Amino acid sequence: MTPFQFSTVQELVEKASYEGTTISQIVAQWEVETSNLSREKIFEKMSNNWKVMKKSIEEGLQKEGQTMGGLVNKAAAHMYNAILTGIVPQDRLSKTIYKALAVAEFNASMGCIVAAPTGGSCGIIPAVLSTAQEEYNFNDEQIVWSLFTAAGIGLVIAEKASVSGAEGGCQAECGSAAAMAAAALVELLGGPPQKVATAAALALKNALGLVCDPVGGLVEVPCIKRNSFLAVNSLVAADLAMAGIPSLIPIDEVITAMGEIGRALPESLRERAQGGLAATPTGKKYKNE
């Protein structure tokens, strides 16, 4: 028997619905069949990713000093203190924000992270899932399974569009991460496969057109704070989907649109640090350090 293959999110939804299971189980099975690794082994590898993600939140929060390029100075710690002192309310939103900042800032300080799907977008998935773990008491095993759902969405995006800022702008990095995080969150919350796909569609739609214009070519401005914005974007998408609000445009068509928009972006707005924020008078001061 030839193993299950997929090129669209819809195929994942149909397969999971037909078998009465989750997208994560379908993706994990696909990985087993295509990698020649055992189910235990791939679960162990994904568990390690989750371990590194959690550690990167903690270490990013405690980190001393500036980022490598010196453009961001302890943003996560500032946000965390604001929560502790009651300046901002302690809730799902503020927790997601500080966690995304912590990971993205840790990345920009040469800390160890999981590219998810890239270094520039590495804070979004850990922030959304770690906050969900805190708020809803999911155990690590549940979270690790949800990462397979995130990866399944990411695989389709990588294939049909791109997850590289140099190819598709920031929508391809942080937009993809937001779609992946929203999908994982809905599955954790018990949403059926169709709602998982809807959440991904809603999250990605709201990131379309986002350009990659990093100041000085560094993964710092606007990247670090954008991780927190796009993590929150995932929460909104997941809430909308869980509430049963559909996406008019299905996820696979949103992905295709994202790829087309990426190709239409001028090169100066695809990680070249030649346009947008990078080309502002202030941004230019940081060119080549």
Partner 1 sequence: MIGVFYVSERGMKMSVFDILGPVMVGPSSSHTAGAVNIGRVARQVFGEKPDKAEITLYGSFADTYKGHGTDRALVAGIMGFKTDDPRIKDALAIADEEGLLIHFSTSKEGTYHPNTVRIKLSNKFQSSEIVGVSIGGGRVRIREVDKFKVDISGIYNTLLCSYPDQMGVIAKVSEILASEKINIATMSVSRDKTYQIALMVVEVDGELPDQAVNQIKAMPYFDTVKAIRKIEL
Binding site for partner 1 (CB under 8 A): 3-7, 27-28, 30-31, 34-35, 42, 45-46, 48-49, 52, 67-69, 106-120, 122, 125, 147-148, 150-152, 154-156, 158-159, 163-164, 166-167, 180, 216-220, 271-273, 288-289
CB of 153 to partner 1, least distance (A): 9
* C-alpha dist (Å) from residue 65 to 62, 69, 77, 125: 10, 11, 11, 24
Q: Which is nearer to partner 1, 5 or 282 (CB)?
A: 5
Q: Which is nearer to partner 1, 240 or 255 (CB)?
A: 255
Q: Which is nearer to partner 1, 231 or 273 (CB)?
A: 273
Peptide bond into 3 cis (omega under 30): no
73 beta partners: 66
Q: Which is nearer to partner 1, 73 or 81 (CB)?
A: 73
Q: Are 197 and 10 in contact (CB under 8 A)?
A: yes
Instruction: State both tokens at 136.
Output: 């809803």
**Rounded Cα distance, 57 and 200, in Å:** 23
Q: Which is nearer to partner 1, 131 or 227 (CB)?
A: 227
CB of 167 to partner 1, least distance (A): 8
CB of 75 to partner 1, least distance (A): 14
Give one DSSP letter per residue of 157-222, joined into a string.
Answer: HHHHS-S-HHHH-HIIIIIHHHHHHHHHHHHHTT--HHHHHHHHHHHHHTTTT--B--GGG-S-TT
One-letter amino acid at 280 equals: T
